[in-house]
Structure 1
């Protein structure tokens, strides 16, 4: 019995020692650990004149100098034409959005859907419909709002963007993606690039075209002036939209009938292989050579592009006319034009800029804090707790065993 008593006493002592060590390790070198910021989501429908696209965005909830670091999660193209084409079938406009909304619900976590801000912004197509028949435009918007309202999201309305809003938000998108507004530095933090060249933005849609840039001088006409504060920096921009000067509307006036859709510039010049900084001389010669081909030769050469093939010549000529005669680019400044559809694997358009600007109005979410240990100390504490439990269980077993004896 003396031997068993000694073993029991030793086990109890070991239990106490291991427990004490675990206690010490659990309170030594404890540090406050900042948890990673949660992720916020937002959705924007770009309801253009020829088609609608739903963009899903996300950003860390802590933001940088008041503005979110936004990234594109998904782009879903809505089947069918733009919502302005449903003037005589408003319910069809709402129904057309549902497949993309269903897809969004599969992407955004269920617990965050009800706090996901969702917008629909209509551009020149709905501007024209509103001017032609405001009642039909309101009916289309009512059906669109009804369809989106059936989903568990924070729907904040459907509206017609002004041309200047469309142009200025596109400017934000371009400069954000090309890192002239904010950039992740070698110091591992987001900073405003000091020597970055802020770019202008040209956008050619189906029904309108926009030009936006930072002029560097005072803007006399307040109707063409817009102000933004992004990542702690102020921007005063000149922006102007020309309704009915988009490629479809302009060519309709010239050719009586055309059905086509930043993107307008890119698609046509991409088809003609002119998006690699070719000289103006080469661009002119390529367009002229293409336009001189007869229809049978074009169909034989480009059978997969037959649907839009009849538009490329007239659209290319219109683009050159708009850039050279309208916006006054010349042979000397032509090289400063970059034809892009995407930057940083993200679609260029007004929706990203809209969402970036929106994050300024969404409160910053405080970061969570927890108490943390170094992995080695935590492993040591857990090991001592396990050993203390084992020693205690063995001691309890021996004590019960001795009593039965």
Structure 2
């Protein structure tokens, strides 16, 4: 009995242990039904191990996730700042072109692009012209400033008021003022300076000046090659420009031959150096040449036998037939013949005045040296207006001008007036002379063949105007940007080269962070959390890959 009684506790203890395990096993399904599903448990397997593995998990994975998130946020902020800075970083510059036939204001809107080169905002760039030109105030120079009031009002409408004080305004007068005496020039400029000082824009006294013809030609060349996308590239692939203004004509192009120093201009743009030929032919503008031609006729320096040896009468071959002056008593008025070929011959004599005094090996126009033309050319201003009047395209040949001129000069004046009723009489009269002048200037003077296809007649490329004022604006802004960089010693991080350098650095950083995160994820052990029913707690175990 004693032995039986002695074994009883052991048996009871064993039965109690079995009963306990069975009870737990029966309750286990009920408990497990409250556990997270296996799909959502993976997240808790990283966080749920906080009691034993928390610090290790955050150190290896959490850091890289935080770094990647911070980098993405930084990239987003960077692009937002760049976008807003491009909009809010819009700047303005004003150039007033004091031309011979009118004064034109150019309001240039831009942002600084890569390399410090301005990028035009064409939608916000605008221009306005008012007549007459500043030279018309030669007898009343004090009134010249008042002619700018309407133009400056236009400028203030286009530039936000908050930017008036930082927007530079410059007045650059050209051939119209160059023809006047220095004393008269300065009086006109002084009057303009008073108006510019009171405009509210940023202005200095020396920003109102008369520019040289060479500068005018260089500015036009810069504008043309900027519009064509060749500025800053191979000099051999640049395009020359021939301007036919009202009072002067400019010829500028890259030349590979040695040039006299007075006709050479060395232009440095970026890392490229351009050796340019540039010269302005004063009095060779279309209007000035036409007026001089009329004086030439009335002075009878132009002998009739030089035009047509068989006729001894005093003739005007550059006016259409049938035109009659309103003042019939003027007996000095020549007999009108309206003949293109004779008009061209007369213009040739006009262009060769002074050639006997040529000090160079070759003078194509008057006594000025002009090398052989190289490359392609744009012919602008009155070249373009004349080709447009005759319905010729931008790629017209000089032979097309010859044919158009022959038809126009030989036409009856009354028929021409009926055909072009909207044109002023003085403007209509000039087109016979203009067609002959263009052929004589380009073919007989500069040596362009009648079937040469390298000249394009245009006043804009795409939507970019081929105006010397654009070239002056570009050179001034590029020079100012270079000076700012030199003074600070640092690029502009919001625009220009700095923006792209920072962008490259940010991209590299994002790649490095992403690679680090992937590497950490690959090396980090895969953990699995299970519930041990026997021990009554969670156990974290490593899973072999």
TM-score tier by shorter-chain length is 0.7 to 0.9
Find the counterpart in structure 2 of residue 377 from structure 1. none
- The offset of 1:284, in angstroms, is 1.0
Establish whether residue 321 from structure 1 lines up as the match of residue 361 from structure 2.
Answer: no
Distance 1:344 1:246, change over 3 A: same
Q: Assess if the C-alpha contact under 8 Å between 1:203 and 1:210 holds in 2.
A: yes
Deviations, residues 21-64 of structure 1 (Å, cap 9, x unaligned): xxx79857442516334122111011111111111112213x43
Q: TM-score, normalized by length of structure 2?
A: 0.57
Find the counterpart in structure 2 of residue 31 from structure 1. 74
Find the counterpart in structure 1 of residue 257 from structure 2. 217
Distance 1:229 1:28, change over 3 A: closer
Find the counterpart in structure 1 of residue 477 from structure 2. 359
Deviations, residues 345-373 of structure 1 (Å, cap 9, x unaligned): 12212111101111122125723499x9x
Q: Partners in 2 of 1:328 and 1:205 — Cα distance?
A: 20
Find the counterpart in structure 2 of residue 392 from structure 1. none
Find the counterpart in structure 2 of residue 11 from structure 1. none
Q: Assess if the C-alpha contact under 8 Å between 2:396 and 2:456 holds in 1.
A: no
Deviations, residues 310-341 of structure 1 (Å, cap 9, x unaligned): 11111111111111122111135x21111101
Deviations, residues 263-308 of structure 1 (Å, cap 9, x unaligned): 1111112101123423333321111011101110000111111341
Q: Which has the higher contact order (CA 8 A, sep 6+)?
A: 1
Q: Partners in 2 of 1:111 and 1:230 — Cα distance?
A: 32
Give the alignment of 1:199-348 within 5 angstroms: 199-219=239-259, 221-256=260-295, 262-307=380-425, 308-332=427-451, 334-348=452-466
Establish whether residue 178 from structure 1 lines up as the match of residue 228 from structure 2.
Answer: yes
Q: Assess if the C-alpha contact under 8 Å between 1:76 and 1:100 holds in 2.
A: no
Q: Which residue of 61, 65, 75 corresponds with 2:115?
A: 65
Count residues in correspondence: 333
Q: Assess if the C-alpha contact under 8 Å between 2:251 and 2:280 holds in 1.
A: yes
Q: Partners in 1 of 2:450 and 2:429 — Cα distance?
A: 28
Q: Assess if the C-alpha contact under 8 Å between 2:106 and 2:126 holds in 1.
A: yes
Q: Partners in 2 of 1:323 and 1:350 — Cα distance?
A: 21
Aligned with 1:102: secondary structure?
Answer: helix
Q: Assess if the C-alpha contact under 8 Å between 2:217 and 2:279 holds in 1.
A: yes
Distance 1:71 1:197, change over 3 A: farther
Distance 1:199 1:27, change over 3 A: closer
Q: Which residue of 198, 202, 208 corresponds with 1:158?
A: 208
Give the alignment of 1:98-117 within 5 angstroms: 98-117=149-168
Find the counterpart in structure 2 of residue 9 from structure 1. none
Find the counterpart in structure 1 of residue 103 from structure 2. 52
Q: Partners in 1 of 2:241 and 2:396 — Cα distance?
A: 19
Give the alignment of 1:78-117 within 5 angstroms: 78-117=129-168
Aligned with 1:146: secondary structure?
Answer: helix
- The offset of 1:234, in angstroms, is 2.0
Q: Partners in 2 of 1:331 and 1:234 — Cα distance?
A: 33
Deviations, residues 222-278 of structure 1 (Å, cap 9, x unaligned): 2111122224322221101111111111111112399xxx21111112101123423
Aligned with 2:267: secondary structure?
Answer: strand
- The offset of 1:71, in angstroms, is 4.7
Aligned with 2:396: secondary structure?
Answer: coil
Q: Assess if the C-alpha contact under 8 Å between 1:67 and 1:231 holds in 2.
A: no
- The offset of 1:202, in angstroms, is 0.2
Q: Partners in 1 of 2:148 and 2:464 — Cα distance?
A: 21
Computing the radius of gyration over CA atoms, which structure comes out larger, 1 or 2?
2
Q: Partners in 2 of 1:237 and 1:206 — Cα distance?
A: 24
Q: Partners in 2 of 1:329 and 1:67 — Cα distance?
A: 34
Distance 1:56 1:232, change over 3 A: farther
Q: Partners in 1 of 2:136 and 2:392 — Cα distance?
A: 32
Unmatched tracts of structure 2, length 5 or more: 1-65, 299-317, 319-379, 486-490, 511-545
Aligned with 2:116: secondary structure?
Answer: coil
Find the counterpart in structure 2 of residue 395 from structure 1. none
Q: Partners in 1 of 2:453 and 2:254 — Cα distance?
A: 19
Q: Partners in 1 of 2:168 and 2:182 — Cα distance?
A: 27
Q: Partners in 1 of 2:470 and 2:147 — Cα distance?
A: 22
Q: Partners in 2 of 1:356 and 1:303 — Cα distance?
A: 40
Q: Assess if the C-alpha contact under 8 Å between 2:235 and 2:254 holds in 1.
A: no
- The offset of 1:217, in angstroms, is 3.1
Q: Assess if the C-alpha contact under 8 Å between 1:78 and 1:99 holds in 2.
A: no
Aligned with 1:155: secondary structure?
Answer: coil
Q: Assess if the C-alpha contact under 8 Å between 2:402 and 2:435 holds in 1.
A: no
Unmatched tracts of structure 1, length 5 or more: 1-23, 183-191, 375-405
